[in-house]
Amino acid sequence: MTELLTFYLFAAVAIVASALVVIRPKPMHSVLLLIVSFAALAGLYIGLDAPFAAVIQLVIYAGAIMVLFVFVVMLLNAHREDEKLGASLKGPLRAGVLLGAVLVAELVWALTRFGGGRGSLFARGAGEGPGEASVAELGRVLFTDYALAFEATSILIIVAMVGAVVLAKREL
Amino acid sequence: MIPLLVAQFGVLLLVFVALLTSAAVMVYAERKVAGAVQQRFGPYLVGPKGALQPIADVMKLLMKETLRPAGADKWLFILAPLISVTAAFTAFAVVPFGSRTTLFGLLDEPVTLQVADVNVAVLVVFAIASLSVYGIVLAGWSSNSKYSLLGALRSASQMISYELSYGLSLAAVIVLAGSLSLREIVEMQGGYWFGFIPKWFVFLQPLGFVIYMIAGVAETNRAPFDFPEAEQELVAGYHTEYSSMSFAMFFLAEYINIVTVAAVAASLFLGGWQMPFVPELVARWSPEAAGLLTPVWFLIKVGAICFFYIWMRWTLPRLRYDQLMTFGWKVLLPLSALNLLVTAAAVIYFA
C-alpha cells in the first residue's frame, strides 16, 4: 500500500515538474524544476529496490549535469525566455510533439509486450538483496554482458567532449 | 519499556538538536581559536569566558531586518538558504555516531545510534554534497548583484573541480572496505594490527585521507579555499545581499557542513566510534557503559578534525584563483586517481 502511494506521489511530482519545465517562462525556474523531476525519478528507483541507481541518479543528473545547466543560465544572464523566438520555433515544436508521440507509442508497445520488469539491468541485482550486492552485480553485468554498449557510450561521450572543447576554443 | 520506534525518533531529535548546538559551539570555537592564533582574547564578555557569545550573535541576527534587493528573484532568493540548511542537515542522517545501545535495559531492543542506516550511505553523503552547491549558486544568482553572482560562479566551478577528488578518495575507501554502508565501514575498523595499531583506514589510506581533508575544505568553502565569499574582492560573495535569519541560515549550513565533513572523515578513516584500548577496559566493568561511551569517542574525533579546520583557516592565506584550479585539476585529481588505482590493485593482489 505504502509502496503504491509513494509511487504515485513521486510519479505525480515527476510529471508535474516536467510539465512545468516546459511551461515556465524563466529559464532558471525550468532548470530547477528539472532537478525536482530528476529527484522524483530517484525516489521511483528507491521504490524499485535500486538504491544505488537512485543515488547515482542524484549524483550525476541532479548534481553534476544540472550544475552545468545552472552555470550556463547564470552566464547567459537569461532572466526571461525570448518571446519573439517562440513564434519562429513552430516547425521544431511540431517535430518535437511528433517525436514525443512516437516515443510514447513505442514505450506503451514495449511495456505491454515485455512487461513485468524481469530481466532488466537493475532488477537482476536487486534480486540478491539490495545494496552492495546489487552494486557488485551491476558492475559485473556492466563489464561483461553489456561491455560493448558501455564502451560505445564512453566513446560517444569522449567525442562529445572533444567536440565541445573544439567549439569553445576555436581560436587556438 | 520504550518501543523501538520512539527510541529511533529520540535519536533523530537528538541528532537535530546536537547539530544545532554544534553550530553554536563551532561559532564560539572559531572565534576563540581565531583569537588565540592572532594573540588576542576573542569573545570574553557574554557569559563565562564569553561562552554565551553565540546566543548573543543569534539574537542580534534575529532582530535585524530581512532585506531583499530590488530585482531579486523572490522565490529563489527565499529558497536558496533553505536548500543550504536542508542539505547540511540531511547529510548527517546517514552517519553512525555510536554502536547499538539499550540504555541500560530501558529499551526492549537495542537502538542503533544513527538516524538512517542506508546501505549506500557513502554515496548518499556524496550526492547531498553535490546537491548542496545549489543553495550557494541560487543565492548568488537570485540576489541580482554582481558580487553575489561572481561568488556563485566561483563556488560552482570550485565545487565541481574538487568534487571529483572528493569522490575518488571516497571510492578508494569503498574499494578497500567492499561496502557502501558507513556502519559496516566503521565496524570493519575495530581490532588491531600487531596487537597495538588500531585498524583504522587512515593507516591504509594516508594519501586518501589527506585528499579527503583538502577536498573537504574546498567543499565547505572555507579558507584557504573560501573564494565564494572572499571578502577582500567580493564583499561577502554569494551571501552579500542576505541579512537577518536568511544570512544566519547560510552560516548554520556552513558550520554543520564542517561538522558533517569531519564526521564522515572520522567514520571513513579514523574508525568512527571505535577507540583503541579504553572501551575494552570499560567493557570489563560494564559492556553497556562501553556501548554508551561510543558517541564520546566519535565526538572526540569530530572535534579534533573541526579544530584542525578552524586552525587551518586562521593560519593559511587564501590561494590565488588560478592556483586553486591548477591544484584541483593537475595535482589533486591525478593523485586521487592514482590512489584509487593502487588501492584497487592492492585489494585484488591481497584478496
What percentage of chain A has pLDDT greater than the value 90?
12
In single-letter form, the type of residue at position B173 comes to: V
Interface touch A28/B141, C-beta < 8 Å: yes
Q: What is the CB neighbour count within 10 angstroms for residue A38?
A: 21
pLDDT surpasses 60 at A120? no
The answer to whether the Cβ–Cβ distance between B160 and A67 falls below 8 Å is yes
> pLDDT tens track of chain B, all 351 residues?
567 777 778 888 888 888 888 888 888 888 888 888 888 887 888 878 877 888 888 888 888 887 777 777 778 888 888 888 888 888 888 888 877 776 666 666 677 777 777 778 888 888 888 888 888 888 888 877 778 888 888 877 888 788 888 888 888 888 888 888 888 888 888 777 777 777 788 788 888 889 998 888 888 877 777 766 666 666 777 777 777 788 888 888 888 888 988 988 888 888 877 777 777 777 777 777 777 778 888 888 899 998 988 888 888 888 777 888 888 888 888 999 999 999 888 888 887
Compute the nearest-CA separation of A103 from chain B (Å): 30
Q: List Cα–Cα distances, B220 to A115, B154, B255, B313, in angstroms.
A: 45, 13, 9, 12
For residue A49, CA distances in Å to A27, A124, A139, B71 come to 34, 11, 17, 45
Judge: B160–A75 Cβ closer than 8 Å, yes or no: no
C-alpha–C-alpha distance, residues B271 and B189, integer Å: 5
pLDDT exceeds 90 at position A155: yes
Report the distance separating Cα B12 and Cα B21, nearest Å: 14
C-alpha to C-alpha distance for B301 and B74, rounded to whole angstroms: 41
Cβ–Cβ gap A131/B152 under 8 Å:
no
Nearest CA of chain B to the CA of A111: how many Å?
A: 29
Model confidence, pTM: 0.81
Q: Where does residue A47 rank: exposed (0-12), middle (13-18), buried (19+ CB within 10 A)?
A: middle
CB neighbours (10 Å) of residue B243? 15
| Cβ–Cβ below 8 Å for A67 and B120 | no
Nearest CA in chain B to A42: B127
DSSP secondary structure of A7-38: HHHHHHHHHHHHHHHHH-S-HHHHHHHHHHHH
Place of cell 590565488: B320
Query: Within the 256-315 window of chain B, which residues sit less than 8 Å (CB to CB) from chain A?
Result: none
The CATH class for the domain spanning A1-81 reads mainly alpha
Residue among B173, B350, B340, B203 nearest B276 (CA): B203
Contact B181, A132 (CB under 8 A): yes
Query: What's at B247, amino acid-wise?
Result: F
The count of structural domains within chain B is 1
**In this complex, how many residue pairs, one in chain A and one in chain B, have their CB atoms less than 8 Å apart?**
81
Rounded to 10 deg, the angle between the B133-142 and A27-47 helix axes is: 160
Question: What is the distance of C-alpha A115 from the center of its chain?
Answer: 21
Residue among B239, B260, B230, B229 nearest B115 (CA):
B260
- For B81, the domain range is 4-350
Q: ipTM surpassing 0.90, yes or no?
A: no
**Which cell is B24 given?**
553554536
pLDDT over 90 at A158, yes or no:
yes
Question: What letter would DSSP give residue B65?
Answer: P
- Distance from C-alpha of A73 to C-alpha of A27, rounded to nearest angstrom: 7
Chain B, 168 to 187: residues with Cβ < 8 Å from chain A are: 178-181
Judging contacts by C-beta atoms under 8 Å, the chain A residues touching residue B159 are 67
DSSP B331: I
Please report, for chain A, the start and end positions of each structural domain, with discontinuous segments joined by +. 1-81, 115-172
Burial class (CB in 10 A: 0-12, 13-18, 19+), B102: middle
Q: Which of B274, B269, B289 is nearest to B191 (CA)?
A: B274
| Helices A132-143 + A147-168 axis angle, to 10 | 80
pLDDT number for residue B288 = 72
The DSSP secondary-structure symbol of B346 reads: H
Beta bridge partners, B112, equal B100
